[in-house]
Amino acid sequence: MKISRISAYRVELPLIEGSYKWSGGKSVTVFDSTVVAVETDEGLVGYGEVCPLGPFYLPAYAEGVRAGVRELGPHLIGLDPRELSVVNRHMDAALKGHPYVKSGIDIACWDLLGKATGMPVCELMGGRFGDSVRLYRAISQIEPDAMAANVAEYRDQGYTRFQLKVGGDPDIDMERIHAARSVLRSSDRLVADANTGWTQHEAVRVVRSVRDLDVYIEQPCLSYEECLAVRRNTGHPFILDENIDGLEMFLRAKADLAMDAVNLKISKLGGLSKTKQIRDLCVATGIAMTLEDSWGGDITTAAIAHLAHSTPEELRFTSTDFNSYVSVSNAEGAPRREHGFMKASDTPGLGITPRFDVLGDAVVEVT
Ligand SMILES: [Mg+2]
């Protein structure tokens, strides 16, 4: 089996809530997502999706995905897509860095491996743990009382994990955390995710002011060293996200005891293959994980479900059903949330079929 064509489709995903706001006044109203198709000479096609959280969250932007597929594609034609390590070595040799560009191709090759073997991706990634995957809801940054009301509303829909977008004015963030915690049950988990938005002294003030609350602190500051300093000033469970952009940073943070949990985003790390590598190390060393991506639609949500469902439950902190945040569906067969949980499909590969009426014509084609 050989790769004969790689295509990319551009699809807009508007947010049902109208916008998504996080630290530093950043916001998105319509996501620009790319669906990647990897075709083979035997007629099988695999699909992946990459959707940056705007151009200002991680070093990634939507048009960069398409430009990158155009750059990488010619190096991959003729390779066997089932040989995932070989494909990834070729991608890394042809293009230094740019993990998010490689993510869609890698996911599509996992989809192909599943279709070729008749197995769901989660079984290929180690097997299915438990009946379903617990989800969190991200709460867009608005006024404290309105955020608490949103937390309560999503809790009524079945969610039990909440990620509060803070990283704004620290005095208002303290109110946000107190307000959100006050509407939750003791068994619900609350994460205050600053998305790098606080300076070190602000972060130390905030964590001290919420000292008596049951809340996780995620990525308070921009640099790893600032986060480490905050970590050493708090007893709260601590999560790193933006700083953990690959295996080396993961190993360093693990050695420094810098985190209790880590946020692994598939495209941040370069695809399912590289995320699985860190996932397996987390399992071996007892680090809990949020398993997700930067954003996306149905295909991203399916990939997350397979990654998460193949992760032991005690270390699977949360995951995200991104397809429930947006009003456009780009594939059939993707997981649908039920009472705050989702499941990976039982069908071969990712278990999705793209909606080509939504995707339109390919904007990149490499043969
Ligand atoms: Mg985060």
pLDDT per residue as tens digits for the range 75-126: 999 999 999 999 999 999 999 999 999 999 999 999 999 999 999 999 999 9
Catalytic choice (165, 254, 268, 343): 165
pLDDT of residue 55: 94
What's the pLDDT tens digit per position in 269-312? 999 999 999 999 999 999 999 999 999 999 999 999 999 999 99
pLDDT band, residue 264 (cuts 50/70/90): very high
Instruction: Output the average pLDDT for the chain.
Output: 97
- C-alpha 231 to ligand 1 mean position (Å): 15
Give the β-pairing of 3-14 and 364-366: antiparallel
Please give the sequence-ordered ranges of beta strands (E in DSSP) within 199-356, or none if there are none: 216-218, 238-240, 261-265, 288-292, 316-319, 331-332, 341-342, 353-354
- C-alpha 268 to ligand 1 mean position (Å): 12
Counting residues of the chain whose pLDDT is more than 90, the rounded percentage is 100
- C-alpha 4 to ligand 1 mean position (Å): 37
Determine the average pLDDT of the residues in 1-18: 97
CA atoms within 13 A on the CB side of 225: 0
- C-alpha 195 to ligand 1 mean position (Å): 6
Q: What is the DSSP letter of 54?
A: S
Residue owning tokens 């050695």? 255
Dihedrals φ, ψ of 18, to 5°? 95, -40
Domains of the chain: 3-118+355-366 (3.30.390.10), 123-353 (3.20.20.120)
- C-alpha 56 to ligand 1 mean position (Å): 14
Rounded distance between C-alpha atoms, residue 339 and residue 25, angstroms: 31
Query: What pTM did the predictor assign?
Result: 0.97
Rounded distance between C-alpha atoms, residue 308 and residue 2, angstroms: 29
pLDDT of residue 330: 98
Q: Give the closest residue to 137 by CA, choosing from 196, 186, 180.
A: 180
Catalytic choice (115, 254, 265, 268): 265
Let me know: does 69 contact 6? Beta carbons within 8 Å.
yes
Residue owning tokens 């740019």? 98
Rounded distance between C-alpha atoms, residue 358 and residue 12, angstroms: 9
Dihedrals φ, ψ of 144, to 5°? -55, -50
- C-alpha 263 to ligand 1 mean position (Å): 6
Let me know: does 325 contact 154? Beta carbons within 8 Å.
no
- C-alpha 138 to ligand 1 mean position (Å): 9
What's the pLDDT tens digit per position in 163-213? 999 999 999 999 999 999 999 999 999 999 999 999 999 999 999 999 999
Let me know: does 307 contact 301? Beta carbons within 8 Å.
no
- C-alpha 218 to ligand 1 mean position (Å): 6
265 is catalytic: yes
Interacting residues of 28 by C-beta distance below 8 A, sequence separation 6+: 15, 19, 20, 53, 54, 295
What's the pLDDT tens digit per position in 14-30? 999 999 999 999 999 99
Q: What is the identity of the amino acid at 223?
A: S
Dihedrals φ, ψ of 113, to 5°? -60, -40
pLDDT of residue 47: 98
Determine the average pLDDT of the residues in 343-349: 98
Q: What is the identity of the amino acid at 105?
A: I
pLDDT of residue 180: 98
pLDDT of residue 37: 98
pLDDT of residue 201: 98
- C-alpha 269 to ligand 1 mean position (Å): 14
